[in-house]
A and B are shown apart, each in its own frame.
Chain A
Amino acid sequence: MPNQNGALYGLTILSPIIDDAKATPSHDLQIRSYLAKLSTREESPFALAPGTHLARLVVMDDVIYVGMPACEEHLKSKYLVFESNCDGDLDTYLTGLAASIPEHLDAIWKHCVGYPGAANRKAFVEYMKACQLETTFYFAAVNDRSVPETLRALQTQSAVADFVATHQGVDPVTLQRDFIQFAAKLQSQPTPPPGSMGPYREIKTGGHNE
């Protein structure tokens, strides 16, 4: 199944944005304005909802004209692109989004044609599936680990590096005692929240080929 790579799911959604000449600002600008203020760290909606490794939201204004001799053509709608790399099966993921972050979903997708709201979970899942595109080819560098497993592994990697650095040349008795304490402490620690440990960045970057 092209949408799946191992245990990961590649979700691609194109939701048509409402085209209303009377709306000020236009619906696509309202989406962009909302997204520009969203946190990308542990307060991110995708960090609060389960199962998202990486995700992006993009307002696609139009298709791109590549020049003669190609034909110039244009879309009749702008589309909100939602690209997500997530754990598990699609229904569980979408239901998890609707249950965890309904206010964010509504704030973003209320500008899209036919959006039923996240409160009606069944209608929400059906809407998202109606806007879904099948992935033709999907690649994942690590395709058999969930988000919590990955965050736990990164935490372990960092802690082990420190342990190894501070236990060079230590006698076997001390080494064993310290390792058992270290392993117990590490396993009792909570998994770092998704989106944490990244740099705080004030938006934004300049040209797209930085």
Chain B
Amino acid sequence: MSNINGKVYALNVITPMKPWKTWILRTAFFVLDHFKPLQQDLINLSFIEFARWVIIPRNEFPYLGGSQSKEALKYDYLLFFSNFNGTWNQYIDAFSAVLSHGLNLIWHWSEKFPGSVPVTLFKEYIARVQFDTDYYYTAYPHATANDLKSAHIVQASFNSLSLVAGRSNPQQFADAYLRFVLAVQAHLGETGEAPVVG
């Protein structure tokens, strides 16, 4: 079992929903997906690399025949997978503080969801419905979501400067270099090993 790899934490959550409520949630996700400004809080949180919600209707668990028995469930299920930076407590705290309305809209339809505020009850609920990761891989374990965004900004500016480096005189290059440093200086933070979580 390993929920952590480098600077990323893998969270798995599954919650039951009454089937008639599933359609309300699907509508909410449709709206969230098609009106990008509604995703701004999720983007602003800035420590989520990837996240997804998956609704599994009660009769659509993969069934391959053979020795497998078909599931007979009363509930639909909502799966949530998140890849975030930082600790579990920091993540749930930030989720609760910044995205409380959004979270309530998503999980309100799940059985026994207590609301995302107050955070203590919310944490108890998430801890109850979480299951652990057996194997977790990331191509860049030393980097956070902000590191990734910054690295791409540095790369684009670096490519632009490289293009003019051989075509300008030293003073022109020095001026361009200064503009380059001003543009990227906030994006040169050191990546490396994550702090030990205790």
Contact = CB atoms under 8 A, between A and B. Distances in A.
Contacts of B181: 164
B37 interface: no
Interface string A3-22: 00000101010111011100
Interface string A159-175: 01100100000011101
Interface string B135-172: 11111111101011111101100100110011010110
Contacts, number: 316
B81 interface: yes
A55 B138 CA distance: 7
Contact of A199 (B6, B49, B185): B6
Contacts of A139: 39, 42, 48, 50-52
A17 B80 CA distance: 21
A156 B154 contact: yes
Interface in A159-210: 160-161, 164, 171-173, 175-176, 179-180, 183, 187, 194-195, 197-199, 201, 203-205, 208-210
A179 B188 contact: no
A31 B134 contact: yes
A147 B152 CA distance: 12
A174 to B, nearest CB: 9
Contact of B130 (A81, A198, A208): A208
Interface in A15-34: 15-16, 18-20, 31-32
Interface string A133-163: 1111111111001010111111011101100
B134 A36 contact: yes
Contact of B49 (A44, A54, A70, A79): A54
Contacts of B132: 58, 208
B50 A145 contact: no
Interface residues of A, number: 94
A15 B15 CA distance: 19
Nearest to B56: A133
Contacts of A99: none
A164 B183 CA distance: 12
B137 A56 contact: yes
B14 A113 contact: no
Contacts of A100: none
B177 to A, nearest CB: 6
B73 to A, nearest CB: 6
A175 B72 contact: no
Nearest to A152: B155
Contact of A205 (B2, B128, B131, B151): B2
Smallest CB-CB A-B distances: 3 pairs: A198-B141, A172-B170, A172-B174
Given A64-B15, A149-B152, A197-B140, 17 more contacts: A36-B134, A53-B49, A53-B139, A55-B137, A58-B133, A73-B75, A114-B64, A133-B56, A135-B52, A137-B33, A138-B50, A142-B152, A153-B152, A161-B190, A172-B171, A176-B168, A195-B138
18 contacts: A2-B33, A19-B68, A46-B137, A52-B137, A54-B50, A63-B73, A66-B16, A66-B129, A76-B68, A156-B151, A156-B154, A160-B188, A176-B168, A179-B161, A183-B161, A198-B193, A203-B2, A205-B4
Interface of A: 2, 8, 10, 12, 14-16, 18-20, 31-32, 35-36, 38, 40-41, 44, 46-47, 52-61, 63-64, 66-67, 70-71, 73, 75-77, 79, 81, 83, 85, 113-114, 130-142, 145, 147, 149-154, 156-158, 160-161, 164, 171-173, 175-176, 179-180, 183, 187, 194-195, 197-199, 201, 203-205, 208-210
